[in-house]
Amino acid sequence: MGSRGSQRSVPGHSIVLTRPRPPPGRAAGAPYAARVATPWWQSAVIYQVYPRSFADANGDGIGDLEGLRRHLEHLVWLGVDAVWLSPIYRSPMADFGYDVSDHCDVDPVFGTLDDADRLVAEAHAAGLKVLLDWVPNHTSDQHPWFVDARRSRDSARRSWYVWRDGRDGGPPNNWRAAFTGELRWELDPATGERRPRAVEGGTGVDPSAWTLDPATGQWYLHLFLPSQPDLDWEEPAVVEAQLDVLRFWLDRGVDGFRADVIHAIGKDPALPDDPPELALVPKSGTNDQPRTHELLRQIRALLDGYPGERMIVGEVYLLDTARVATYYGDGDELHLAFNFPPLMARWRARTWRRQVTEVAEQVDPVGGWPTWVLSNHDNPRHRTRYGTEPRARAAAVLLLGMRGTPFLYAGEELGLEDADVPADRRVDPGGRDGCRAPLPWTRADGHGWGAEPWLPFPPEAGARSVEAQREDPGSVLHLYRRLLAARRASPALAVGDLELVSAADDQAVLAWTRTAGEDRRAVAVNFTAEEQAASLDAAWVVEVASDGAGEGQPFTGRLGPDQAVVLRPA
């Protein structure tokens, strides 16, 4: 590792992130004019759909595949390149689809396999790639595999899950499950250190990652809910069965997968106790085993065996960029790995400088192509975290100005805040309902949903609806559209090198340039509510401004309060 990518530190305060490694078979240093020469998932912007909350065609208050199909036009108009769907498979919905009971069928609440085929075909016809969520670490306890496994110690599929005898009348070790309602593994926004943090919500269930199965007298492992037993990837039949799931969907034409908690699949076979300082932290945030890398190489080989640049982006929930970087392997594991420290970072210039620098120092040297995420279905939306719309707008400029593949979470293009979900409507065992509120499509009450949706709408749903914002050129929605158009039109923004230009001690502004051959852009973000100087000279024209101010005009060298800009050479 480390031989193919390179990172240069230049004197002074700049950091240079170098261009992506050329795809196999292409000469190093190929000109960026050949943007098409980079794999699609490097220049793409990927849009996450949480199917329950996106659009409801059959009027039952829960989003479905037909609802998404009818709104593909929104994604094309917006200008994203690919859509990732959170799980659509058959599921008892204890974790809203992340508890799969049949990997090769669509849950009736979302539609049918025919609906999925039609969606993929129409998305492709519209120029959009389609990624599905793949949940390799665990299944539902209702999955026929687990139903068989728990029937007896002699069941054919007993070895597909992790069974152990108890220890002194209790669970086999001290591992902790997620969603147990007390602690979560997070980054301290002030120091960047990992630490356990108390969370709201939760199930109030036993915090152990083990549940006793009384009928067979053994305990089974579950890093998440007791109804989500972990598969045992040491069992070759499990590997084959899960690779078959990938084949099933690849054969149907999907372009790749987002792999759920992929870092969790390989376990230490000795299942040792966690040290005391980790004993209160869910194991799903710390499990990091060499075995997973062997498995990923198999998974990657399968994808690479298909034509058409199929890809896999993995959720590596380790909150440590250096660890995340190892999941790219030597170009033979994940194509992309989610790196969540930026998702947890505070809205501060120096904090964000550290995020960019960390990626430069950790991901670039292994030849990995970075990812950037501000919002998803597991965390409060960034509009909610940062507190104001002007900041959320500036964050959109920051995200779409980064080097790496950005992921948008449906509704962030509307500037949605999390819904305030009253106690009697809370449904998620992980306390994540707020960010899963339904998308408002129309201004009028009902907002395009036939029935009362499964969760309440977010605040200001009418004014923030797609309908209202499409009519308003000054809206957040139009800002995202302009940013996506600018990114698509500029190789520098899409795949170019990144060089920080603001001073390391600048607490107000972060500015950088992007370069691909002759093509150049600059991005500057004011993290404060006061006007600031931008660390860039005036040889630029404002291409996109977070508040729309001055677009098409020469850049003055100053940024308004909470303003962020994309600049092109004058």
- Count of CB atoms within 10 A of residue 485's CB? 14
- 95 vs 506, which CB is nearer to ligand GLC? 95
Binder of ligand GLC out of 15, 162, 261, 439 (CB under 6 A): 261
Minimum CB separation from ligand GLC for residue 313, in Å?
12
- 41 vs 134, which CB is nearer to ligand GLC? 134
- Count of CB atoms within 10 A of residue 549's CB? 12
Number of H helices, E strands in the chain: 16, 24
Question: Can you tell me the distance from the alpha carbon of 532 to that of 534, in angstroms, rounded to the nearest whole number?
Answer: 6
- 260 vs 499, which CB is nearer to ligand GLC? 260
Q: Which two tokens stand for residue 169?
A: 């009348």
Q: Does 413 bind ligand GLC (CB under 6 A)?
A: no
Measure CA 431 to chain center. 18
- 148 a catalytic residue: no
Q: Does 378 bind ligand GLC (CB under 6 A)?
A: yes
Minimum CB separation from ligand GLC for residue 116, in Å?
20
Q: Does 95 bind ligand GLC (CB under 6 A)?
A: yes
The catalytic residue among 56, 315, 364, 506 is 315
Instruction: Work out the angle at residue 94's Cα, subtended by the Cα atoms of residues 385 and 341, and round it to the nearest 5 degrees.
Output: 30
By residue count, the chain amounts to 570
Question: Can you tell me the distance from the alpha carbon of 335 to that of 306, in angstroms, rounded to the nearest whole number?
Answer: 14
Binding residues for ligand GLC, rule CB under 6 A, total 11
Which H helix or E strand runs over 125?
Answer: helix 113-125
Minimum CB separation from ligand GLC for residue 242, in Å?
14
- 185 vs 480, which CB is nearer to ligand GLC? 185
Question: Can you tell me the distance from the alpha carbon of 495 to that of 47, in angstroms, rounded to the nearest whole number?
Answer: 18
Question: Can you tell me the distance from the alpha carbon of 196 to that of 250, in angstroms, rounded to the nearest whole number?
Answer: 38
- 265 vs 479, which CB is nearer to ligand GLC? 265
Minimum CB separation from ligand GLC for residue 435, in Å?
11
Which H helix or E strand runs over 133?
Answer: strand 129-134
- 377 vs 481, which CB is nearer to ligand GLC? 377
Minimum CB separation from ligand GLC for residue 554, in Å?
44
Q: Does 260 bind ligand GLC (CB under 6 A)?
A: yes
- Count of CB atoms within 10 A of residue 275's CB? 8
Question: Can you tell me the distance from the alpha carbon of 452 to that of 459, in angstroms, rounded to the nearest whole number?
Answer: 15
Question: Can you tell me the distance from the alpha carbon of 124 to that of 327, in angstroms, rounded to the nearest whole number?
Answer: 29
Minimum CB separation from ligand GLC for residue 180, in Å?
13
- Sketch the per residue contact string, 426 through 465, with ligand GLC: x for CB under 6 A, - otherwise: ----x-----------------------------------
Q: Which two tokens stand for residue 142?
A: 């209702």
- 331 vs 431, which CB is nearer to ligand GLC? 431
Name the residue among 121, 47, 144 with its Cα closest to residue 400. 47
Which H helix or E strand runs over 341?
Answer: helix 341-344
- 79 vs 229, which CB is nearer to ligand GLC? 229
Question: Can you tell me the distance from the alpha carbon of 323 to that of 385, in angstroms, rounded to the nearest whole number?
Answer: 25
Q: Does 185 bind ligand GLC (CB under 6 A)?
A: no
- 315 a catalytic residue: yes
Minimum CB separation from ligand GLC for residue 433, in Å?
12
Minimum CB separation from ligand GLC for residue 142, in Å?
15
Name the residue among 407, 415, 343, 351 with its Cα closest to residue 383. 415
The catalytic residue among 66, 95, 141, 260 is 260
Binder of ligand GLC out of 89, 98, 372, 540 (CB under 6 A): 98
- 178 vs 399, which CB is nearer to ligand GLC? 178
- Count of CB atoms within 10 A of residue 47's CB? 25
Question: Can you tell me the distance from the alpha carbon of 348 to that of 446, in angstroms, rounded to the nearest whole number?
Answer: 37
- Decide if 567 contacts 541 (C-beta within 8 A): yes
Name the residue among 509, 503, 189 with its Cα closest to residue 349. 509
Minimum CB separation from ligand GLC for residue 138, in Å?
7
Which residue number places its CB atom closest to ligand GLC?
98
At 85, give phi and psi (nearest 5°): -100, 125
- Sketch the per residue contact string, 329 through 368, with ligand GLC: x for CB under 6 A, - otherwise: ----------------------------------------
Binder of ligand GLC out of 41, 50, 224, 369 (CB under 6 A): 224
Residue type, 89: Y
Interface with ligand GLC (CB under 6 A):
95, 98, 135, 224, 260-261, 315, 317, 377-378, 430
Q: Which residues are catalytic?
A: 260, 315
